Amino acid sequence: MAKIFLRKKISSRIADGHPWIFGNEIGDEDGAYEPGDIVDVFSSNGSFVGRGYINPASQIKVRLLTRNQQEQINDEFFYNKILKAWNYRKKLGYIENCRLIFGEADELPALVIDKFNDYLVIQTLSLGIERWKGAIVNALNTIFRPKGIYERNDVPVRELEGMQQIKGFLSEPFDTNIIINENGLKFHVDLVNGQKTGYFLDQQDNRRAIGQVVEGADVLEAFCYTGTFSMHAAKYGAKSVLGLDISDFAIKTAERNAELNGYQDICKFQNVNAFDVLKLWVKEGRRYDTVILDPPAFTKSRGSIDKAVTGYKEINLRGMKLLKPGGFLVTASCTNLVPPDLFLKTIEMAAKDARKTIRQVSWQTQAADHPILWNVPNTQYLKFLIVEVS
């Protein structure tokens, strides 16, 4: 096994437990390796740091899997990690649907596994973890005996690792249009064509949080995707719900979800550009009791963070202006590069420009099946806020 030695001056990030090691943090190398191989990492003075996989083609050259020198990386290693993650979810009550593996937060960097009842969806986002895909699938079959496993590796980040974008069955073929249960509601999930792994599990706890601010309300949900917040609003007693999304696929699925739950008379959906419509409706004087904003990530590049912040400020300003006095704004951001303090500051600036006073009702992050490690800041990405606006 090749040995990798860190430079003398390295980021405290590594010492504090972060599993990423960048190429410019590496000094000497001892031994040959192929991209994706397991290597041992040592400090400049020769003390053991950790064991992980290496890929010179990636900016993150090494991702550590363990800091225990006695722990070997083999099929049993992945079985034990997945079983540990599953036991943790079960303890917290995430049994039917959950993010089973959340990459670094479960000590399996660049691996994502979502569980949708009896079906599993996998993303292997780096070459090193891709090499162990067979072991991971075997472990899943042993632990869960699932009805099907599908890979959604149709993501551009794989190309940065020198891999192709692919998707397909990792089990016998099955009907990939499934129905899941969440908070007493049913939702259609298209594992092949839906965004990410087919469905956004990270908001499942937050969708319950809107219950007290939608009862008897006229609700507007922008960027509604397949209508999950809209359906919860109807369940919790909304008088009317209007969902907006630019995707025709999303709107059609949202309409099917409304019919599936018997809310087709309460929930209506429009295939429009929410940015344009919100601006127009402010001018027209439309007003709602509750406005829900759950947009997609506005940037994946540090170079465009300012642009993302401008976007968040603008849509939240418009959302506030669409509220009746004393109405509620439900707003979220899944942009990893916009930290919680910056997001809150952006909402504050939007309120100031809209000449509104806001009062916090709820401030949350992603569901607990997406664990947050305090020493790995990028594991916290979702910001979810409810405020009263007057």
Proportion of the chain above pLDDT 90, given as a percent: 92
Is residue 182 a part of any domain in this protein? no
Domain that holds residue 11: 3-66
Structure confidence by residue, pLDDT tens digits, 24-36: 999 999 999 999 9
> Positive or negative, the Cα torsion across 48, 50, 52, 57?
negative
Q: How far apart are CA 381 and CA 332, in angstroms?
A: 10
Phi, psi of 337 (to 5 degrees): -80, -5
Q: Cα-atom radius of gyration of the chain, to the nearest Å? A: 23
Q: What percent of the chain has pLDDT over 70?
A: 99
Residues 23-46 as b/e (b if ≥16 CB within 10 A, e otherwise) read eebbeeeeeebeebbbbbbbbeee
The pLDDT value recorded for residue 177 is 97
pLDDT at residue 303, as a whole number: 73
Answer yes or no: are the C-beta atoms of 244 and 277 closer than 8 Å.
yes
Is 340 found in the same domain as 224?
A: yes
46 domain-assigned: yes
Query: 197 lies in a domain?
Result: no
Average pLDDT for residues 157-185, to the nearest whole number?
Answer: 97
Q: Kindly report, residue by residue over 362-388, the tens digit of the pLDDT.
A: 999 999 999 999 999 989 999 999 999
Domain limit, last residue, from 112, 142, 176: 176
**Residue among 91, 142, 135, 86 nearest 115 (CA):** 86
Which residue, 66, 99, 114, sits at the end of a domain?
A: 66
Number of domains in the chain: 3
Examine residue 183 and state whether it is found in any structural domain, yes or no.
no
Residue by residue, DSSP assigns 275-331 as HHHHHHHHHHT--EEEEEE-PPPS-SSGGGHHHHHHHHHHHHHHHHHTEEEEEEEEE
- At what angle are helices 305-321 and 274-284 packed, to 10 degrees? 40
pTM of the model: 0.95
Tell me how far apart the alpha carbons of residues 41 and 49 are, in angstroms, rounded to a whole number: 5
Does 301 score more than 70 pLDDT? Answer: no
| 55 and 133 inside one domain | no
Examine residue 189 and state whether it is found in any structural domain, yes or no: no
* Domain identity same for 250 and 276: yes
CATH number at residue 165: 3.30.750.80
The verdict on 147 and 270 lying in the same domain is no
| Residue 157, number of CB atoms within 10 A of its CB | 15
- Which three-class secondary structure string do you get for 116-130? ECCEEEEEECCHHHH
pLDDT at residue 171 greater than cutoff 70:
yes
- Pair of tokens at residue 76: 């049993």
Examine the domain organization and report whether 46 and 119 are in the same domain.
no
Q: Looking at the structure, tell me whether residues 164 and 95 fall in a common domain.
A: yes
Residue 195 domain-assigned? no
Q: Are residues 268 and 346 in the same domain?
A: yes
Counts of helices then strands in the chain (DSSP H, E): 12, 20
Same domain for 137 and 16? no
Give the per-residue pLDDT at 137. Answer: 98
Q: Which of 129, 135, 176 is nearest to 157 (CA)?
A: 129
Read off the CATH number of the domain in which 227 is found. Answer: 3.40.50.150
For residues 213 and 277, membership in a common domain is answered with yes
Q: What is the mean pLDDT of residues 51-79?
A: 97
In a domain, 193, yes or no: no
- At 169, which helix (H) or strand (E)? strand 166-169
Burial-class residue 216 by CB neighbours within 10 Å (0-12, 13-18, 19+): exposed
Asked whether residue 9 carries a pLDDT value surpassing 90, the answer given is no
pLDDT digits (tens, 9 = 90+) for 315-367: 999 999 999 999 999 999 998 888 999 999 999 999 999 999 999 999 999 99
Q: What is the mean pLDDT of the chain?
A: 96
Which of 43, 35, 62 lies closest to 51, judged by CA?
Answer: 62
**Statement to judge: residues 263 and 335 lie in one domain:** yes
Examine the fold and report which residue of 133, 160, 176 is the final residue of a domain before the chain moves on.
176
Tell me: pLDDT of 297 over 90.
no
Average pLDDT over residues 253-279: 97
* Residue 308 binned pLDDT confidence (cut-offs 50, 70, 90): confident
